Structure 1
Amino acid sequence: MTYLTATTIDEQHLVAQIRQATTKANRNNVTRTQAYLAFYLEHQEVHWALLAHMVSRNGGWSMTDLKGEWLPLIMDAQAIEPFFWFLERCNWLIFHDAYPQLLLYAEMKRTGTDLTKLLAPLGVSIFMQSYWQEFLASKDSGRISHALIVNEQQYIEQRVVQKPFTLNRIFASFAFVAQAALSMNQVLIPYKAHPTDRRLSLIGLNVHHFPAVNSRVQIGKSLYQQIFGDRFRFEKIVSYCSRIPHTGSRADYWPHLFTPHYTPPFTEVEYQFRLDGHELLQGTPKIYSPRLQDAWTDYGHDPADGVDWFRDEKWHKVVKEPASLPSIDSDSYVRSLQWIEYGVKLVSVIT
């Protein structure tokens, strides 16, 4: 991939610093998730950083599910590693592309200088240059967020989603179809709706048609609206993100059901039900959901490949389009957990 070079020694030094900082923060899902939040808290006009933090939390939960209580019981052991690669590669690539943009913006904000010409040496699509230039003047948080949503989904399109390995080993697999059937493909946003609530509430959405880039853009825009569209809920979401460090375990949001601590399984051959609505059945242990550090070691990535994706002006129109996919709440999430249990139970009976 060929890009323009920075024109001065100072600019070359800045590009090198940004690349170094990005590599350091891109070590694993926990470090990149925290980096998004730290950036957002310092630059709250960049809404996308908070959206990315929350989506990255969900990516971590999906990664640890692969080594948790349920998925190893319904997935072929040979499928677990490819699924982790898919989740981790998408998470890594988006951070690799987006975080340099955030750091460059921070430098432009600090110096009051338009440095958007350095997006190209940082490997960022030409699609983003005009949006960052506009944002410097307008501070239109929604517009730059939508542009970043489009850009990052396009960035992983050729580099992961449309790779033959992904199409044949991930999307065409029984495990991917089963997860969709059991409503396991969800993005969740936790928040404490009222100060007296004992448990966190959830809002989010079911993820359908992930291989289609337009669907992923719609998902991103809808999540953005869920986070920022209601001021009361938004403040509660920020409070959750700031109070509860991301570990990768689903105990981060519902410790009454999930635990990061492994307990030996029941002695029975068949899986025994655990859930009774929002509660655990009396006498049953919590559902194992490990921390990322206990589930996976850091993954060594190949360099990002591919060429600039931007070829069609229609994507500028897509940035302007609103999106509002149907949301899910705590009750619908509990129903999906019960469906997962039924599926796990069925597999344990027939195998």
Structure 2
Amino acid sequence: MTQKTEKQKVLTTQESSLLEQIKLLTKKKNLNNVTRTKAYLDFYLANTEIHWAFLGHMVSRNGGWNMTDLKGEILSRLLSKKESEWFFAFLERGNWLIFQDVYPQFLLYQESRKKNKPFFYLFPFLGVSSFMETVWNYFWDHHDEYILTIGLVINEQNYLEKRVLQNPTYKKVFNSFEFKLQDILSFNHILFPCGKKQLIGQTLHHFEVLKERISLGIRLYKVLFQDEEILKKVKEWAVKHPHTGSRKDYWSDIFNEINEELPRSFYQLKLQACQLRPGTRKIYSPRLEHAWKNVTHEVAEQGDWLCDWHIADFLKQNDEKINGEIKKDYCKTLERLELTALAKKAVSKFYKNYIASKLFSSLIGILWALIHLTG
């Protein structure tokens, strides 16, 4: 049954009231990355069978870290004010859109549990894809946590595709030199802290490719849930460390939410082998509330993304184990980003095209080698 046909259904007073409550609560929780991220965790702790809620919480933390990086010590030296605002608008819109789509699904599920009957037939009135109505009904009958989680991964990435990735407003982000630079430097790490200075996760290249993002979501789910001990450690860390947006949340030995540097001071290399060099100050990583103001968003674009059920092929389960080791790569990335900040002026004349980024990358490699040769 299509969304249009479903919307012809006359709602009861109770159904209308329920939908209004869900919309109001979703809006209340959807103020910014910090409120969204907390809402995901709160929901998961009350409904641990909904694995995506915790996966979404951890990925949303990364979204917040990426937002504050734009005002942090390193990227603020690489990006202009306008470019930072572009990147933030892109990250914030995606974070907002996913929440306003998935959180009402969670609230309807909660109501279904409370009343012991499924309310998923109300999804069309919330703009939720018919794909998810099928997936949630299957979960209600079969309690298949894997299918529900991957279904949500598929849904959210398809939901973003036309609304953000194919939106002309945000395409300039992908066409910018700095976005390509982040891909070259492998800065698209998704990190899951699981103890003091311990990190697991995955790296995404080609963010603009839908299938790559879905595959990443599946890998991240496996990294987080394939090992009960790892899941326990990440969960304990998440509960103990409320999300602020600052990378100090997971690595206070390296990052600080207070800027310890003097204004307009010359950047000095600070990191070596995941540690601060002697005599250097911590890297500035602000809280979200100190970096960006809340945004008032335009209403989400309407329409059901589902046009080909072959996308459901991603639901097929396999037993492949995913190695979540990422700390070493992440540490190298931080050092390379420092080199990039240091080398920026030397290669500024090449900034206008992608060929320049290749030359830039080569120069970074030379600097990288020289620094490690000299200790």
Bucket of the pairwise TM-score, normalised by the shorter protein:
over 0.9
By how many angstroms is 1:333 displaced?
Answer: 1.1
TM alignment of 1:234-249, pairs within 5 A: 234-249=231-246
Q: Distance in 1 between matches of 2:264 and 2:296?
A: 38
Are residues 235 and 6 of structure 1, via their aligned partners in 2, closer, same or farther at CA, if it must alter by over 3 Å? farther
One-letter amino acid matched to 1:41? L
SS of the residue 1:232 aligns to: helix
Tell me which structure has the larger Cα radius of gyration.
2
TM-score (norm 2): 0.88
Which residue number in structure 2 is paired with residue 283 of structure 1?
A: 279
TM alignment of 1:190-269, pairs within 5 A: 190-192=193-195, 199-265=196-262, 269=266
* Identity level (%): 41
Which residue number in structure 2 is paired with residue 314 of structure 1?
A: 310
Q: Distance in 2 between matches of 1:333 and 1:21?
A: 37
Q: Distance in 1 between matches of 2:70 and 2:331?
A: 19
Higher RCO, Cα 8 Å, sep 6+: 1
Task: Structure 2: state its 5+ residue gaps.
Answer: 349-375
Contact 2:247–2:285 (8 Å) recurs in 1: yes
Q: Distance in 2 between matches of 1:264 and 1:6?
A: 62
Q: Distance in 2 between matches of 1:228 and 1:138?
A: 19
Confirm or deny that 1:170 pairs with 2:173.
yes
TM alignment of 1:286-305, pairs within 5 A: 286-305=282-301
Are residues 272 and 114 of structure 1, via their aligned partners in 2, closer, same or farther at CA, if it must alter by over 3 Å? same
Confirm or deny that 1:7 pairs with 2:11.
yes
SS of the residue 1:38 aligns to: helix
Which residue number in structure 2 is paired with residue 90 of structure 1?
A: 94
SS of the residue 1:302 aligns to: coil
Q: Distance in 1 between matches of 2:91 and 2:10?
A: 33
TM alignment of 1:61-100, pairs within 5 A: 61-100=65-104
Which residue number in structure 2 is paired with residue 35 of structure 1?
A: 39
TM-score (norm 1): 0.94
Confirm or deny that 1:111 pairs with 2:115.
yes
Which residue number in structure 2 is paired with residue 195 of structure 1?
A: none
By how many angstroms is 1:320 displaced?
Answer: 1.9
One-letter amino acid matched to 2:178? A
One-letter amino acid matched to 1:288? Y
By how many angstroms is 1:321 displaced?
Answer: 5.0
Query: Which structure features the higher share of helix residues?
Result: 2
Picking from 166, 183, 186, the partner of 2:186 is: 183
Contact 2:127–2:302 (8 Å) recurs in 1: no
Which residue number in structure 2 is paired with residue 347 of structure 1?
A: 344
Computed over aligned residues only, the root mean square deviation of the Cα atoms, in angstroms, reads 1.7
Which residue number in structure 2 is paired with residue 157 of structure 1?
A: 161
Deviates more, 1:38-47 or 1:315-324: 315-324
By how many angstroms is 1:182 displaced?
Answer: 1.7
SS of the residue 2:126 aligns to: coil
Contact 2:245–2:287 (8 Å) recurs in 1: yes
Contact 1:54–1:189 (8 Å) recurs in 2: yes
Q: Deviations over 1:173-198 (max 9, x none)?
A: 01101111122111000001xxxxxx
Q: Distance in 2 between matches of 1:104 and 1:130?
A: 14
By how many angstroms is 1:132 displaced?
Answer: 0.7
Task: Structure 1: state its 5+ residue gaps.
Answer: 193-198
Q: Deviations over 1:285-304 (max 9, x none)?
A: 10000000000000110000
Q: Distance in 1 between matches of 2:240 and 2:64?
A: 17
One-letter amino acid matched to 2:47? H
By how many angstroms is 1:75 displaced?
Answer: 1.4
Q: Distance in 2 between matches of 1:124 and 1:310?
A: 10
Confirm or deny that 1:273 pairs with 2:269.
yes
Which residue number in structure 1 is paired with residue 369 of structure 2?
A: none
Contact 2:261–2:281 (8 Å) recurs in 1: no
Q: Distance in 2 between matches of 1:96 and 1:238?
A: 24
Q: Deviations over 1:249-283 (max 9, x none)?
A: 000000000000122337754x2100121210111
Q: Distance in 1 between matches of 2:254 and 2:105?
A: 38
One-letter amino acid matched to 2:150? H
Which residue number in structure 2 is paired with residue 126 of structure 1?
A: 130
Q: Distance in 2 between matches of 1:337 and 1:265?
A: 21
Contact 1:218–1:324 (8 Å) recurs in 2: no
Q: Distance in 2 between matches of 1:350 and 1:220?
A: 36
Q: Distance in 2 between matches of 1:295 and 1:276?
A: 27
